A = this chain, B = another copy of it.
């Protein structure tokens, strides 16, 4: 659908902006725009302002770099969490995913990226130095590296591992294995191999 066909520059601009969202094509963007046109003015105004304010006023936790409305985020200031355990993740979204599991009760450290020479991202571009400072001279007992198993993720994990080797902290990583519901037949051989060499004690459950 070309720009000219939309018969209005206002509509074209809105569709252009909406189509820049990840995974949104021009057809969906047009659907969004026509939907917004049918809404009351106040709602659309609130929509636009929420987006603008999000980007303008967003703050990040001074300790862990997570999105936060206050200088130190609720997780970092929560005294009931395990304060000697730090989970290192690439992005804000990873924190949200891990929080949703309900299985983790420690603190976080958001790197804000991953070492990727191909994309020109070096260790100094991400929050590794501040992680070392958090560990240095503190009571932190364990640094839990929860990065993706891509080459960049492995590189970053290894870099942090080397940086932390001199400190008296345990360095752990997430368990790899066959996913729940996955079939052995269709599991790639590296995963299946690792899940055999790292096999765990069988614990019967009543589920």
Contact = CB atoms under 8 A, between A and B. Distances in A.
Determine chain A's interface SS by DSSP, over half rule. helix
A174 interface: no
A7 B51 contact: no
Nearest to A93: B34
A55 B51 contact: no
Interface residues of A, number: 59
A14 B50 contact: yes
Contact of A17 (B50, B56, B95): B50
Interface in A132-188: none
A5 B99 contact: yes
A61 to B, nearest CB: 9
Interface in A35-86: 35-37, 39, 41, 44-59, 66-69, 73-75
